[in-house]
Amino acid sequence: YNPPRGWLATANNKHQSPLEGVDIPGNYFANRIMRISDLLGQDKKFSAADFKVMQQDRIDASLIHFRDIVKEALQKNLEKTFGDEVLAWKGDTGLDSRPAAFLNLLQQELKTRIFKDELGKIYKKVRIIWVEQLLASNSGAWYDDVTTEKVESRDDILAAAIVAAENKTQNKTWGDFQSFTMAHPLSVVPLLSGWLDLKKGPMPWPGTEGTINVSFSLFADDAFNAVVGPSWRFVVDFSKPLEGEMVIPAGNSGNPMGEHFMDFYEMWKNGEYWPVSLDKQTTYGRAAQVLKLQPAK
Please provide the DSSP assignment of 88-137 as one string.
H---B--TT-HHHHHHHHHHHHHHHHHHHHHHGGGGGG--HHHHHHHTT-
Cα–Cα distance for residue pair 117/112, rounded to 1 Å: 8
One-letter amino acid at 217 equals S
User: Which residues are bridge partners to 217 per DSSP?
Assistant: 226
C-beta separation of 124 from 219 below 8 A: yes
244: β partners = 236, 276
pTM: 0.90
Position 17 scores a pLDDT of 64
Q: What is the CA radius of gyration of the chain?
A: 23
Q: Which amino acid is at 47?
A: S
Instruction: For residues 217-234, give the mean pLDDT.
Output: 95
14's enclosing H/E stretch is none
Q: Compute the average pLDDT of residues 229-252.
A: 93
The boundaries of every CATH 1.10.1400 domain in the chain are: 31-175
- How many whole angstroms separate alpha carbon 211 and alpha carbon 270? 16
74-97 tens-digit pLDDT:
999 999 999 999 999 999 999 999
* pLDDT value of position 100: 98
Average pLDDT over residues 264-276: 95
**What distance in Å separates the CA atoms of residue 277 and residue 188, rounded to the nearest whole number?**
37
- 151 pLDDT above the threshold of 90: yes
Residue of 54, 32, 9 whose CA lies nearest to 211:
32
Say what percent of the chain tops pLDDT 90: 75
Q: What value does the mean pLDDT take over residues 280-284?
A: 90
Nearest Cα residue to 188 out of 176, 196, 180, 177 = 196
Up-side HSE of residue 243: CA atoms within 13 Å toward CB? 6
* Total residues found in the chain within this entry: 297
CATH 1.10.1400 fits 31-175, yes or no: yes
pLDDT band at residue 258 using 50, 70 and 90 as cut-offs: confident
pLDDT > 70: percent of the chain? 98
Closest CA to 113 of 163, 157, 165: 157
Least Cα distance to 128 among 36, 47, 193, 60 occurs for: 60
Q: Which helix (H) or strand (E) holds 275?
A: strand 274-277
pLDDT band at 55 (very low <50, low <70, confident <90, very high): very high
Nearest CA to 274 out of 282, 264, 265, 266 is that of 264
Under DSSP, is residue 73 helix (H, G, I), strand (E, B) or coil? helix
Least trusted range by pLDDT, from 105-109, 141-145, 176-180 = 141-145
In this prediction, residue 252 carries a pLDDT of 84
Lowest mean pLDDT among 53-67, 218-232, 247-261: 247-261
